[in-house]
Structure 1
Amino acid sequence: MNHIVLSKRENVGYITLNRAPANAYNLDLMTELHQAVVDMNADSSVGALVVNSQSEKFFCAGADIKEFQTNDTATNQKLVDMARRTTAALEQSDKVVIAQVSGHALGGGLELIMACDLRFAAKGNYLLGLPEIKLGLIPGNGGSQRLVRLVGLAKALEFLATGDSFSVNTATEMGLINQLVEKDQLDQFTFEYAKKIADGPLLAVTATKKALRQGVELTLEEGLALEQKLVNELYDTKDAAEGFNAFIDKRPAVFQGQ
Protein backbone atom coordinates (compact mmCIF):
# COMPACT_ATOMS: atom_id res chain seq x y z
CA MET A 1 0.00 0.00 0.00
CA ASN A 2 1.28 3.43 -0.92
CA HIS A 3 1.72 5.76 2.02
CA ILE A 4 1.61 8.82 -0.24
CA VAL A 5 -1.19 9.71 -2.66
CA LEU A 6 -0.49 12.11 -5.52
CA SER A 7 -3.27 14.00 -7.28
CA LYS A 8 -4.00 17.20 -9.18
CA ARG A 9 -6.87 19.66 -9.15
CA GLU A 10 -6.43 21.71 -12.27
CA ASN A 11 -2.88 23.09 -12.04
CA VAL A 12 -2.54 22.55 -8.26
CA GLY A 13 -0.68 19.44 -7.14
CA TYR A 14 -1.53 17.52 -3.97
CA ILE A 15 0.70 15.27 -1.87
CA THR A 16 -1.46 13.43 0.66
CA LEU A 17 -0.07 11.51 3.64
CA ASN A 18 -1.91 8.19 3.93
CA ARG A 19 -0.51 5.85 6.59
CA ALA A 20 -3.29 5.04 9.05
CA PRO A 21 -3.98 5.71 11.79
CA ALA A 22 -1.74 8.72 12.49
CA ASN A 23 0.63 9.05 9.51
CA ALA A 24 3.54 8.16 11.81
CA TYR A 25 6.38 7.92 9.34
CA ASN A 26 8.92 5.19 8.77
CA LEU A 27 11.63 4.93 6.12
CA ASP A 28 9.18 3.73 3.46
CA LEU A 29 6.80 6.64 3.94
CA MET A 30 9.57 9.23 4.06
CA THR A 31 11.22 7.79 0.95
CA GLU A 32 7.88 7.93 -0.89
CA LEU A 33 7.31 11.48 0.31
CA HIS A 34 10.71 12.63 -0.88
CA GLN A 35 10.12 11.11 -4.31
CA ALA A 36 6.67 12.71 -4.46
CA VAL A 37 8.16 16.16 -3.86
CA VAL A 38 10.80 15.53 -6.55
CA ASP A 39 8.16 14.35 -9.04
CA MET A 40 5.79 17.23 -8.37
CA ASN A 41 8.61 19.74 -8.64
CA ALA A 42 9.51 18.31 -12.07
CA ASP A 43 5.90 18.45 -13.31
CA SER A 44 5.54 21.62 -15.39
CA SER A 45 1.74 21.33 -15.28
CA VAL A 46 1.79 21.94 -11.52
CA GLY A 47 2.04 25.58 -10.51
CA ALA A 48 1.63 25.25 -6.75
CA LEU A 49 1.76 22.38 -4.30
CA VAL A 50 -0.40 21.41 -1.31
CA VAL A 51 0.66 18.86 1.32
CA ASN A 52 -2.22 17.44 3.35
CA SER A 53 -3.44 14.32 5.14
CA GLN A 54 -6.00 11.59 4.51
CA SER A 55 -6.58 11.27 8.25
CA GLU A 56 -9.35 13.19 10.01
CA LYS A 57 -7.43 13.43 13.28
CA PHE A 58 -3.77 13.63 12.33
CA PHE A 59 -1.65 15.53 9.89
CA CYS A 60 1.36 13.55 11.05
CA ALA A 61 2.30 12.17 14.47
CA GLY A 62 6.01 12.25 13.67
CA ALA A 63 8.32 9.26 13.48
CA ASP A 64 6.94 5.81 14.22
CA ILE A 65 8.36 5.46 17.74
CA LYS A 66 7.73 1.70 17.93
CA GLU A 67 9.80 1.11 14.80
CA PHE A 68 12.39 3.66 15.88
CA GLN A 69 12.82 1.84 19.19
CA THR A 70 13.23 -1.61 17.62
CA ASN A 71 15.45 -0.53 14.70
CA ASP A 72 19.21 -0.50 14.98
CA THR A 73 21.02 2.83 15.00
CA ALA A 74 22.08 2.58 11.35
CA THR A 75 18.49 2.07 10.18
CA ASN A 76 17.25 4.97 12.27
CA GLN A 77 20.00 7.16 10.87
CA LYS A 78 18.77 6.37 7.34
CA LEU A 79 15.29 7.50 8.39
CA VAL A 80 16.58 10.74 9.88
CA ASP A 81 18.74 11.42 6.81
CA MET A 82 15.77 10.86 4.49
CA ALA A 83 13.56 13.11 6.63
CA ARG A 84 16.17 15.85 6.37
CA ARG A 85 16.36 15.40 2.61
CA THR A 86 12.58 15.60 2.39
CA THR A 87 12.21 18.79 4.41
CA ALA A 88 15.01 20.33 2.35
CA ALA A 89 13.23 19.31 -0.87
CA LEU A 90 10.03 20.98 0.31
CA GLU A 91 11.88 24.13 1.27
CA GLN A 92 13.95 24.25 -1.92
CA SER A 93 11.12 23.43 -4.33
CA ASP A 94 10.67 25.93 -7.14
CA LYS A 95 6.95 25.91 -6.35
CA VAL A 96 5.19 27.50 -3.41
CA VAL A 97 4.31 24.66 -1.03
CA ILE A 98 1.29 25.00 1.26
CA ALA A 99 0.69 22.76 4.27
CA GLN A 100 -3.03 22.15 4.74
CA VAL A 101 -3.51 21.12 8.37
CA SER A 102 -6.61 19.91 10.18
CA GLY A 103 -5.21 17.44 12.71
CA HIS A 104 -2.40 16.80 15.19
CA ALA A 105 1.11 17.63 13.93
CA LEU A 106 3.77 16.52 16.37
CA GLY A 107 7.53 16.07 16.24
CA GLY A 108 8.57 15.30 12.70
CA GLY A 109 5.04 16.09 11.58
CA LEU A 110 5.40 19.69 12.68
CA GLU A 111 8.86 19.75 11.11
CA LEU A 112 7.28 18.83 7.76
CA ILE A 113 4.77 21.65 8.12
CA MET A 114 7.46 24.18 8.95
CA ALA A 115 9.45 23.19 5.85
CA CYS A 116 6.50 24.26 3.71
CA ASP A 117 6.27 27.88 2.63
CA LEU A 118 2.79 28.57 4.01
CA ARG A 119 0.57 26.88 6.59
CA PHE A 120 -3.23 27.01 6.38
CA ALA A 121 -5.13 25.30 9.19
CA ALA A 122 -8.64 24.39 10.25
CA LYS A 123 -10.13 25.59 13.50
CA GLY A 124 -10.28 22.76 16.03
CA ASN A 125 -8.98 21.20 19.23
CA TYR A 126 -5.95 19.39 17.81
CA LEU A 127 -2.37 20.04 18.92
CA LEU A 128 1.01 20.92 17.47
CA GLY A 129 4.37 20.53 19.13
CA LEU A 130 7.94 19.32 19.22
CA PRO A 131 8.06 16.90 22.18
CA GLU A 132 11.53 15.45 21.49
CA ILE A 133 13.02 16.79 24.73
CA LYS A 134 10.71 14.44 26.64
CA LEU A 135 12.64 11.59 25.01
CA GLY A 136 15.97 13.13 26.00
CA LEU A 137 16.49 14.47 22.47
CA ILE A 138 16.06 17.65 20.46
CA PRO A 139 14.36 17.97 17.05
CA GLY A 140 16.51 16.38 14.37
CA ASN A 141 14.84 17.37 11.10
CA GLY A 142 15.27 21.13 11.37
CA GLY A 143 12.62 21.75 14.01
CA SER A 144 14.65 24.03 16.24
CA GLN A 145 16.08 26.11 13.39
CA ARG A 146 12.83 26.55 11.49
CA LEU A 147 10.73 27.24 14.57
CA VAL A 148 13.00 30.01 15.81
CA ARG A 149 12.94 31.64 12.37
CA LEU A 150 9.16 31.50 12.24
CA VAL A 151 8.19 32.59 15.76
CA GLY A 152 11.31 34.13 17.31
CA LEU A 153 13.75 33.04 20.00
CA ALA A 154 11.62 33.48 23.11
CA LYS A 155 8.57 31.59 21.81
CA ALA A 156 10.66 28.83 20.26
CA LEU A 157 12.55 28.25 23.50
CA GLU A 158 9.34 28.37 25.52
CA PHE A 159 7.99 25.29 23.74
CA LEU A 160 11.23 23.48 22.91
CA ALA A 161 12.52 23.57 26.49
CA THR A 162 9.46 21.72 27.81
CA GLY A 163 8.29 19.80 24.75
CA ASP A 164 4.73 20.82 25.63
CA SER A 165 2.19 20.86 22.82
CA PHE A 166 0.15 23.93 21.92
CA SER A 167 -3.19 24.61 20.28
CA VAL A 168 -3.67 25.66 16.68
CA ASN A 169 -5.01 28.97 18.03
CA THR A 170 -1.73 29.56 19.85
CA ALA A 171 0.18 28.56 16.73
CA THR A 172 -1.76 31.17 14.76
CA GLU A 173 -1.25 33.89 17.36
CA MET A 174 2.52 33.43 17.30
CA GLY A 175 2.71 33.40 13.50
CA LEU A 176 3.36 29.72 12.88
CA ILE A 177 0.02 29.32 11.07
CA ASN A 178 -0.71 31.82 8.31
CA GLN A 179 -4.46 31.40 8.01
CA LEU A 180 -6.97 29.76 10.39
CA VAL A 181 -10.34 28.97 8.80
CA GLU A 182 -13.43 26.89 9.45
CA LYS A 183 -12.79 23.18 8.90
CA ASP A 184 -15.44 22.81 6.20
CA GLN A 185 -13.92 25.73 4.30
CA LEU A 186 -10.26 24.69 4.47
CA ASP A 187 -10.12 22.59 1.30
CA GLN A 188 -11.63 25.27 -0.90
CA PHE A 189 -9.74 28.11 0.79
CA THR A 190 -6.42 26.35 0.25
CA PHE A 191 -7.22 25.41 -3.34
CA GLU A 192 -8.29 28.92 -4.27
CA TYR A 193 -5.11 30.42 -2.82
CA ALA A 194 -2.91 27.78 -4.48
CA LYS A 195 -4.78 28.24 -7.77
CA LYS A 196 -4.15 31.99 -7.67
CA ILE A 197 -0.42 31.31 -7.38
CA ALA A 198 -0.50 28.56 -10.02
CA ASP A 199 -2.20 30.91 -12.50
CA GLY A 200 0.39 33.61 -11.90
CA PRO A 201 3.82 34.30 -13.45
CA LEU A 202 5.59 31.21 -12.15
CA LEU A 203 9.11 32.38 -12.97
CA ALA A 204 8.48 35.47 -10.85
CA VAL A 205 6.90 33.36 -8.10
CA THR A 206 9.98 31.12 -8.01
CA ALA A 207 12.24 34.18 -7.94
CA THR A 208 10.20 35.63 -5.08
CA LYS A 209 10.59 32.43 -3.07
CA LYS A 210 14.35 32.40 -3.72
CA ALA A 211 14.69 36.06 -2.79
CA LEU A 212 12.99 35.49 0.55
CA ARG A 213 14.32 32.03 1.43
CA GLN A 214 17.92 32.90 0.58
CA GLY A 215 17.81 36.59 1.38
CA VAL A 216 16.74 36.14 5.00
CA GLU A 217 20.10 34.44 5.67
CA LEU A 218 22.12 37.26 4.06
CA THR A 219 23.11 40.76 5.02
CA LEU A 220 20.90 43.51 3.62
CA GLU A 221 23.55 44.41 1.05
CA GLU A 222 23.85 40.80 -0.07
CA GLY A 223 20.08 40.41 -0.14
CA LEU A 224 19.66 43.49 -2.32
CA ALA A 225 22.27 42.11 -4.73
CA LEU A 226 20.36 38.82 -4.86
CA GLU A 227 17.10 40.64 -5.56
CA GLN A 228 18.74 42.64 -8.33
CA LYS A 229 20.11 39.49 -9.96
CA LEU A 230 16.73 37.75 -9.82
CA VAL A 231 14.72 40.66 -11.19
CA ASN A 232 17.23 41.25 -14.00
CA GLU A 233 16.59 37.69 -15.15
CA LEU A 234 12.85 38.40 -15.42
CA TYR A 235 12.83 41.56 -17.54
CA ASP A 236 13.00 39.78 -20.90
CA THR A 237 10.60 36.96 -20.11
CA LYS A 238 7.32 36.45 -21.97
CA ASP A 239 5.45 36.72 -18.68
CA ALA A 240 6.91 40.15 -17.97
CA ALA A 241 5.88 41.33 -21.43
CA GLU A 242 2.40 39.90 -20.92
CA GLY A 243 2.11 41.58 -17.53
CA PHE A 244 2.97 45.00 -18.93
CA ASN A 245 0.72 44.56 -21.97
CA ALA A 246 -2.21 43.38 -19.86
CA PHE A 247 -1.80 46.37 -17.56
CA ILE A 248 -1.83 48.81 -20.49
CA ASP A 249 -4.76 47.02 -22.15
CA LYS A 250 -6.65 46.91 -18.85
CA ARG A 251 -7.26 43.16 -19.07
CA PRO A 252 -6.36 40.13 -16.95
CA ALA A 253 -2.88 38.80 -17.72
CA VAL A 254 -2.51 35.28 -19.06
CA PHE A 255 0.85 33.96 -17.91
CA GLN A 256 2.65 30.98 -19.42
CA GLY A 257 5.55 30.49 -17.02
CA GLN A 258 8.03 31.58 -19.70
Structure 2
Amino acid sequence: MNHFTITKPSPSMWRVSFDNPPVNVFSSQTIIELRALVDAAEADPDLTVILFESANPEFFCAHWDLTDDTSSLASEPPPVTGQQAFVDVLIRLSKLPVISISSIRGRARGAGSEFLLATDIRFASRERTLIGQFEMTTGLAPGGGSVSRLPRLVGRARALEILAGADDFDGDLAERYGYVNRSLPDAELDAFVDAFAQRVARTDRGAIAELKGWVNEMTLPEDQEFAPQSDAFFTRLMGPKVSGWIGRSFEQGLQQPGDLENHLGARGFDV
Protein backbone atom coordinates (compact mmCIF):
# COMPACT_ATOMS: atom_id res chain seq x y z
CA MET A 1 0.00 0.00 0.00
CA ASN A 2 1.34 3.43 -0.94
CA HIS A 3 1.79 5.92 1.89
CA PHE A 4 1.72 8.97 -0.40
CA THR A 5 -0.78 10.16 -2.97
CA ILE A 6 0.83 12.53 -5.46
CA THR A 7 -1.06 14.89 -7.75
CA LYS A 8 0.47 17.46 -10.10
CA PRO A 9 -1.80 20.48 -10.61
CA SER A 10 0.85 21.98 -12.91
CA PRO A 11 4.36 21.07 -14.13
CA SER A 12 5.83 23.34 -11.45
CA MET A 13 3.75 22.17 -8.43
CA TRP A 14 3.19 18.80 -6.76
CA ARG A 15 0.72 18.00 -3.98
CA VAL A 16 1.74 15.09 -1.75
CA SER A 17 -0.76 13.67 0.73
CA PHE A 18 0.16 11.27 3.56
CA ASP A 19 -2.32 8.40 3.62
CA ASN A 20 -1.27 5.48 5.84
CA PRO A 21 -4.29 4.52 7.99
CA PRO A 22 -5.19 4.47 10.74
CA VAL A 23 -2.90 7.22 12.15
CA ASN A 24 -0.33 7.91 9.40
CA VAL A 25 2.73 6.39 11.06
CA PHE A 26 6.09 6.85 9.31
CA SER A 27 7.82 3.57 8.37
CA SER A 28 10.43 2.03 6.10
CA GLN A 29 7.87 2.02 3.29
CA THR A 30 7.39 5.75 3.80
CA ILE A 31 11.16 6.25 3.54
CA ILE A 32 11.26 4.26 0.30
CA GLU A 33 8.45 6.33 -1.21
CA LEU A 34 9.87 9.62 0.03
CA ARG A 35 13.28 8.73 -1.38
CA ALA A 36 11.70 8.08 -4.78
CA LEU A 37 9.86 11.38 -4.56
CA VAL A 38 13.08 13.25 -3.71
CA ASP A 39 14.88 11.53 -6.60
CA ALA A 40 12.13 12.62 -8.99
CA ALA A 41 12.06 16.17 -7.61
CA GLU A 42 15.82 16.55 -8.03
CA ALA A 43 15.55 15.47 -11.67
CA ASP A 44 12.47 17.50 -12.70
CA PRO A 45 13.57 20.77 -14.36
CA ASP A 46 10.10 22.33 -14.14
CA LEU A 47 9.27 21.70 -10.48
CA THR A 48 9.52 24.62 -8.05
CA VAL A 49 7.21 23.74 -5.13
CA ILE A 50 6.01 20.62 -3.29
CA LEU A 51 3.05 20.89 -0.93
CA PHE A 52 2.77 18.19 1.76
CA GLU A 53 -0.55 17.57 3.50
CA SER A 54 -2.50 14.69 5.07
CA ALA A 55 -5.52 12.70 3.99
CA ASN A 56 -6.37 12.25 7.69
CA PRO A 57 -7.52 15.48 9.40
CA GLU A 58 -6.71 14.03 12.84
CA PHE A 59 -3.16 12.85 12.10
CA PHE A 60 -0.67 14.55 9.82
CA CYS A 61 1.93 11.93 10.79
CA ALA A 62 1.59 10.33 14.22
CA HIS A 63 5.22 9.21 14.72
CA TRP A 64 7.53 6.37 13.66
CA ASP A 65 5.89 2.95 13.29
CA LEU A 66 7.16 1.14 16.37
CA THR A 67 6.36 -2.25 14.79
CA ASP A 68 8.69 -1.58 11.82
CA ASP A 69 11.91 -3.62 11.76
CA THR A 70 13.43 -1.69 8.78
CA SER A 71 14.24 -4.99 7.01
CA SER A 72 12.65 -3.74 3.79
CA LEU A 73 15.42 -1.14 3.51
CA ALA A 74 18.08 -3.87 3.10
CA SER A 75 17.40 -4.19 -0.63
CA GLU A 76 17.39 -0.42 -1.20
CA PRO A 77 20.38 1.57 -2.48
CA PRO A 78 22.69 2.89 0.25
CA PRO A 79 21.83 6.31 1.72
CA VAL A 80 23.21 9.15 -0.38
CA THR A 81 24.52 11.14 2.59
CA GLY A 82 25.94 8.18 4.51
CA GLN A 83 23.46 8.75 7.35
CA GLN A 84 20.86 6.26 8.54
CA ALA A 85 17.96 5.99 6.09
CA PHE A 86 15.41 8.27 7.81
CA VAL A 87 17.92 11.06 8.45
CA ASP A 88 19.34 10.65 4.95
CA VAL A 89 16.04 11.26 3.19
CA LEU A 90 15.21 14.24 5.44
CA ILE A 91 18.59 15.85 4.72
CA ARG A 92 17.96 15.40 1.02
CA LEU A 93 14.44 16.80 1.34
CA SER A 94 15.75 19.89 3.15
CA LYS A 95 18.30 20.52 0.39
CA LEU A 96 16.03 20.04 -2.63
CA PRO A 97 16.34 22.90 -5.15
CA VAL A 98 12.60 23.53 -4.74
CA ILE A 99 10.46 24.97 -1.93
CA SER A 100 8.76 22.37 0.27
CA ILE A 101 5.67 23.43 2.23
CA SER A 102 3.84 21.52 4.97
CA SER A 103 0.15 22.23 5.51
CA ILE A 104 -0.44 20.84 8.99
CA ARG A 105 -3.79 19.59 10.14
CA GLY A 106 -3.81 17.00 12.91
CA ARG A 107 -1.08 15.47 15.08
CA ALA A 108 2.60 15.27 14.14
CA ARG A 109 4.94 13.92 16.79
CA GLY A 110 8.38 12.34 16.86
CA ALA A 111 9.31 11.37 13.30
CA GLY A 112 6.25 13.30 12.09
CA SER A 113 7.58 16.48 13.69
CA GLU A 114 11.07 15.76 12.35
CA PHE A 115 9.63 15.44 8.85
CA LEU A 116 7.97 18.84 9.26
CA LEU A 117 11.22 20.38 10.46
CA ALA A 118 12.97 19.17 7.29
CA THR A 119 10.48 20.99 5.06
CA ASP A 120 11.15 24.62 4.25
CA ILE A 121 7.89 26.26 5.32
CA ARG A 122 5.20 25.11 7.78
CA PHE A 123 1.63 26.43 8.00
CA ALA A 124 -0.69 25.06 10.69
CA SER A 125 -4.39 24.83 11.41
CA ARG A 126 -5.02 26.89 14.54
CA GLU A 127 -7.67 24.55 15.93
CA ARG A 128 -6.50 21.16 14.67
CA THR A 129 -2.70 21.10 14.99
CA LEU A 130 -0.77 19.32 17.75
CA ILE A 131 2.97 18.87 17.17
CA GLY A 132 5.81 17.82 19.42
CA GLN A 133 8.75 15.57 20.20
CA PHE A 134 7.46 12.98 22.65
CA GLU A 135 10.57 10.77 22.69
CA MET A 136 11.84 11.81 26.13
CA THR A 137 8.70 10.31 27.69
CA THR A 138 10.00 6.91 26.55
CA GLY A 139 13.50 7.37 27.98
CA LEU A 140 15.49 8.41 24.91
CA ALA A 141 16.40 11.65 23.12
CA PRO A 142 15.13 12.22 19.56
CA GLY A 143 17.38 10.80 16.86
CA GLY A 144 15.88 12.02 13.57
CA GLY A 145 17.29 15.54 13.40
CA SER A 146 15.09 17.65 15.67
CA VAL A 147 17.96 18.17 18.15
CA SER A 148 19.86 20.02 15.41
CA ARG A 149 16.98 21.67 13.56
CA LEU A 150 14.87 23.02 16.42
CA PRO A 151 17.47 25.28 18.09
CA ARG A 152 18.09 26.98 14.76
CA LEU A 153 14.37 27.71 14.45
CA VAL A 154 13.24 28.54 17.97
CA GLY A 155 16.42 29.21 19.97
CA ARG A 156 18.21 27.16 22.61
CA ALA A 157 15.86 27.60 25.57
CA ARG A 158 12.67 26.95 23.63
CA ALA A 159 14.23 23.96 21.87
CA LEU A 160 15.08 22.44 25.25
CA GLU A 161 11.54 23.14 26.45
CA ILE A 162 10.07 21.36 23.43
CA LEU A 163 12.47 18.42 23.53
CA ALA A 164 12.81 17.83 27.29
CA GLY A 165 9.18 18.65 28.11
CA ALA A 166 7.98 16.32 25.35
CA ASP A 167 4.54 17.95 25.31
CA ASP A 168 2.23 18.89 22.45
CA PHE A 169 2.14 22.37 20.95
CA ASP A 170 -1.01 23.71 19.36
CA GLY A 171 -0.94 25.88 16.27
CA ASP A 172 -0.84 29.25 18.01
CA LEU A 173 1.90 28.33 20.48
CA ALA A 174 3.93 26.66 17.74
CA GLU A 175 3.69 29.90 15.73
CA ARG A 176 4.70 32.02 18.74
CA TYR A 177 7.80 29.85 19.26
CA GLY A 178 8.76 29.70 15.58
CA TYR A 179 8.09 25.95 15.34
CA VAL A 180 5.78 26.81 12.40
CA ASN A 181 5.70 29.90 10.19
CA ARG A 182 2.14 30.79 11.10
CA SER A 183 -1.13 29.29 12.27
CA LEU A 184 -4.41 30.11 10.59
CA PRO A 185 -8.08 29.37 11.31
CA ASP A 186 -8.77 25.89 10.02
CA ALA A 187 -11.40 27.16 7.59
CA GLU A 188 -8.80 29.47 6.00
CA LEU A 189 -5.79 27.14 5.94
CA ASP A 190 -6.31 25.42 2.59
CA ALA A 191 -7.03 28.58 0.61
CA PHE A 192 -4.06 30.41 2.13
CA VAL A 193 -1.61 27.57 1.55
CA ASP A 194 -2.85 26.95 -1.99
CA ALA A 195 -2.45 30.61 -2.88
CA PHE A 196 1.06 30.72 -1.44
CA ALA A 197 2.10 27.52 -3.21
CA GLN A 198 0.69 28.75 -6.51
CA ARG A 199 2.65 31.98 -6.06
CA VAL A 200 5.91 30.08 -5.52
CA ALA A 201 5.07 27.80 -8.45
CA ARG A 202 5.36 30.81 -10.77
CA THR A 203 9.02 31.28 -9.82
CA ASP A 204 11.92 30.17 -12.00
CA ARG A 205 13.45 26.91 -10.72
CA GLY A 206 16.98 28.17 -11.19
CA ALA A 207 16.28 31.23 -9.07
CA ILE A 208 14.67 29.07 -6.37
CA ALA A 209 17.71 26.79 -6.36
CA GLU A 210 20.07 29.75 -5.94
CA LEU A 211 17.96 31.27 -3.18
CA LYS A 212 17.70 28.02 -1.22
CA GLY A 213 21.38 27.30 -1.64
CA TRP A 214 22.31 30.63 -0.05
CA VAL A 215 19.78 30.28 2.77
CA ASN A 216 20.87 26.68 3.39
CA GLU A 217 24.46 27.79 3.94
CA MET A 218 23.29 30.09 6.73
CA THR A 219 20.71 27.87 8.41
CA LEU A 220 20.96 24.11 7.82
CA PRO A 221 22.85 21.81 10.21
CA GLU A 222 26.02 20.16 8.94
CA ASP A 223 25.35 16.54 7.96
CA GLN A 224 27.85 15.20 10.49
CA GLU A 225 25.76 16.56 13.38
CA PHE A 226 23.11 13.88 12.91
CA ALA A 227 25.04 10.61 13.26
CA PRO A 228 25.76 10.81 17.03
CA GLN A 229 22.09 11.59 17.69
CA SER A 230 20.93 8.62 15.59
CA ASP A 231 23.47 6.27 17.16
CA ALA A 232 22.42 7.22 20.70
CA PHE A 233 18.74 6.88 19.75
CA PHE A 234 19.09 3.34 18.45
CA THR A 235 21.28 2.28 21.37
CA ARG A 236 18.67 3.40 23.91
CA LEU A 237 15.82 2.06 21.77
CA MET A 238 17.10 -1.45 22.38
CA GLY A 239 17.24 -0.97 26.16
CA PRO A 240 14.71 -2.32 28.69
CA LYS A 241 13.30 1.08 29.68
CA VAL A 242 12.22 2.00 26.17
CA SER A 243 11.08 -1.54 25.33
CA GLY A 244 8.91 -1.54 28.44
CA TRP A 245 7.37 1.79 27.49
CA ILE A 246 6.60 0.53 23.99
CA GLY A 247 4.98 -2.66 25.28
CA ARG A 248 2.77 -0.81 27.78
CA SER A 249 1.84 1.76 25.13
CA PHE A 250 0.59 -0.84 22.68
CA GLU A 251 -1.50 -2.37 25.46
CA GLN A 252 -3.06 1.08 25.94
CA GLY A 253 -3.81 1.68 22.25
CA LEU A 254 -0.65 3.08 20.65
CA GLN A 255 -0.90 3.49 16.87
CA GLN A 256 -4.68 3.30 16.93
CA PRO A 257 -7.15 6.19 17.04
CA GLY A 258 -8.07 6.83 20.64
CA ASP A 259 -7.13 8.47 23.89
CA LEU A 260 -3.42 7.63 24.00
CA GLU A 261 -2.61 8.75 20.46
CA ASN A 262 -4.88 11.78 20.80
CA HIS A 263 -3.10 12.94 23.97
CA LEU A 264 0.34 11.35 23.67
CA GLY A 265 2.17 14.51 24.68
CA ALA A 266 0.15 14.81 27.88
CA ARG A 267 0.07 11.09 28.72
CA GLY A 268 3.48 9.87 27.56
CA PHE A 269 5.25 10.10 30.92
CA ASP A 270 2.38 8.23 32.61
CA VAL A 271 2.40 5.14 30.37
TM-score normalised by the shorter chain: which range applies? Answer: 0.7 to 0.9
Q: TM-score with structure 1 length normalisation?
A: 0.76
Change in 2 beyond 3 A, CA 1:9/1:211: same
Partner of 2:4: 4
2:165 matched to 1:162? yes
Partner of 1:59: 60
Higher relative contact order (CA 8 A, sep 6+): 2
2:131 matched to 1:128? yes
Q: Describe the SS at the equivalent of 2:127.
A: coil
2:141 to 138, 141, 146: 138
Structure number, greater radius of gyration: 1
Cα displacement (A) at 1:76: 10
Cα displacement (A) at 1:197: 1.3
Q: Which runs of 5+ in 1 are unaligned?
A: 219-258
Q: Describe the SS at the equivalent of 1:59.
A: strand
Residue pairs, 1:100-249, within 5 angstroms = 100-216=103-219
- Return 204-213 or 181-190, whichever deviates more: 181-190
Cα displacement (A) at 1:205: 1.7
Q: Describe the SS at the equivalent of 1:102.
A: strand
- Return 191-200 or 96-105, whichever deviates more: 191-200
Q: Which amino acid aligns with 1:147?
A: L
Measured in 1, the distance between the counterparts of 2:128 and 2:60 equals: 13
Q: Describe the SS at the equivalent of 1:63.
A: coil
Cα displacement (A) at 1:85: 1.7
Residue pairs, 1:21-40, within 5 angstroms = 21-40=22-41
Partner of 1:235: none
* 1:41-87 CA distance string (max 9 Å, x none): 3223322111111111011011012x04xx3xx74997992211221
2:23 matched to 1:43? no
Asked if structure 1 preserves the Cα contact closer than 8 Å seen for 2:58 and 2:128, the reply is: no
Measured in 2, the distance between the counterparts of 1:40 and 1:187 equals: 23
4+ residue segments displaced more than 6 Å: 76-80
Measured in 1, the distance between the counterparts of 2:195 and 2:17 equals: 18
Measured in 2, the distance between the counterparts of 1:156 and 1:138 equals: 13
Instruction: Give identity over the alignment, percent.
Output: 29
Cα displacement (A) at 1:147: 0.7
Cα displacement (A) at 1:102: 0.8
Q: Which amino acid aligns with 1:63?
A: W
Q: TM-score with structure 2 length normalisation?
A: 0.73
Q: Describe the SS at the equivalent of 1:137.
A: coil
Q: Which amino acid aligns with 1:139?
A: P
2:92 matched to 1:89? yes
Q: Which runs of 5+ in 2 are unaligned?
A: 222-271
Measured in 1, the distance between the counterparts of 2:194 and 2:2 equals: 24
- CA RMSD, Structure 1 to Structure 2 (Å): 2.2
Asked if structure 2 preserves the Cα contact closer than 8 Å seen for 1:15 and 1:36, the reply is: no
Cα displacement (A) at 1:184: 2.5
Q: Which amino acid aligns with 1:19?
A: N
